[in-house]
Amino acid sequence: MSLFATSARRSQPVDYLRIFLTALASEEPTRHLSPEGRHYIFRATQLAAQFIQDPKNRLPVGWPEAVDLAFELRDKRPLVDEILKLKTEDDLAPELARRILSEFQHDSSGDSAAVAR
């Protein structure tokens, strides 16, 4: 069965992804995101984009946030292509984080499927 034909898995790490994306997207001068946080965002977004590009690229166990992100970004080809061009976590810009967040409609209550626009 296709990933996109089912409800995406839900777990607390998905909320962490949103928190880190929000921190990265912030324009406040005091904004600080740890290298670990940047790597976490980079890894989740890359895994999601690689899966969308080719569903044969299986998502590793333990990355439910990448599953949810893939569900949300599946129809956003230009954004996926931009994510795939990232080489390291240092390439993640606040503007890109805002664009990803604008598409990421995760329901933190965990009791309903994500709704794609």
C-alpha 49/C-alpha 51 separation (Å) is 5
Residue 110 in domain: no
What pLDDT does residue 37 have?
86
| pLDDT of amino acid 50 | 94
Listed as own residue / partner, the contacts of 110-113 with beta carbons closer than 8 Å and 24 or more positions apart are 110/10, 112/7, 113/7, 113/8
* 111 domain residue, yes or no: no
Dump pLDDT digits (tens) for 9-67. 445 677 888 888 888 888 765 567 788 888 999 999 999 999 999 988 888 888 888 98
Q: Would you say residue 114 lies in a domain? A: no
In a domain, 76, yes or no: yes
Q: Is the residue at 25 inside a domain?
A: yes
Q: Residue 5: its pLDDT value, please?
A: 37
Q: Where are the alpha helices (DSSP H) in the chain?
A: 12-25, 35-53, 64-73, 77-84, 94-103
Q: Could you give the number of structural domains in the chain?
A: 1
In a domain, 52, yes or no: yes
pLDDT recorded at residue 109: 46
Q: Which domain holds residue 28?
A: 11-103
